[in-house]
Amino acid sequence: MIQLVEDKLDIDTYLELRRAVQFHKITRDQARRALDHSLYTLVAYKDGRAVGMGRIVGDGAVICYVQDLIIRPEVQGQGIGGLILETLKDFVMKIGFPGTMMMFDLMCAKGREAFYKKHGFIARPTDKLGPGMIQYLEL
């Protein structure tokens, strides 16, 4: 059974889950600030072990981003990612202003496009939207 825990993601769990899927390494200070500035965090536990997580960043009014949706490789394909993603979406729906529209965005890992399309996301570019872009800043 999967247990979801809201807004209790600790630094060690965050860093361990990032390592499990080989996300680029970040420092504890980066992790602390990232978690402190998240609008919402969610951790999925299976048999007492953290097996997945997701977090929402953004302004909570015009745009929210799904950030760090992570599922341990050994439990991928069991519906945990979809459960986390739908719970993140529910959170965004609750914080928005009634009668308005909120952009709900993400940048997915290569090869994961079908998963996100299944959950209602559209791939860019489209007729009206250009491609997503990124720049890494070496500090």
Q: How far is CA 51 from each of CA 18, 21, 77, 133, 137, rounded to the nearest angstrom?
A: 11, 11, 12, 29, 30
In a domain, 127, yes or no: no
List the structure tokens of 89: 């979406």
pLDDT of residue 119: 96
List the structure tokens of 8: 């209790």
35-83 pLDDT, tens per residue?
999 999 999 999 999 999 999 999 999 999 999 999 999 999 999 999 9
Interstrand relation of 103-105 and 63-71 (parallel, antiparallel or unpaired): parallel
Place of tokens 């500090």: 139
Confidence of residue 110 (pLDDT cuts 50, 70, 90): confident
Mean pLDDT over 110-134 rounds to 92
In a domain, 88, yes or no: yes
In a domain, 30, yes or no: yes
Mean pLDDT over 90-103 rounds to 96
In a domain, 22, yes or no: yes
Confidence of residue 137 (pLDDT cuts 50, 70, 90): confident
Query: To the nearest whole number, what is the mean pLDDT of the chain?
Result: 96
When divided into structural domains, the chain yields a total of 1
In a domain, 21, yes or no: yes
Element (H, E) at 47: none
CATH number at residue 40: 3.40.630.30
In a domain, 126, yes or no: no
Helices 11-20, 28-36: crossing angle, 10 deg rounding: 110
- Whether the CB-CB separation of 52 and 86 falls below 8 Å is answered with no
Q: How far is CA 93 from each of CA 90, 96, 127, rounded to the nearest angstrom?
A: 5, 6, 26
In a domain, 82, yes or no: yes
In a domain, 138, yes or no: no
Which of 40, 41, 14 has its CA nearest to residue 27?
A: 14
Q: Is residue 4 over pLDDT 90?
A: yes
Interstrand relation of 49-58 and 63-71 (parallel, antiparallel or unpaired): antiparallel
DSSP conformational letter for 132: -
Q: Which domain holds residue 112?
A: 2-118
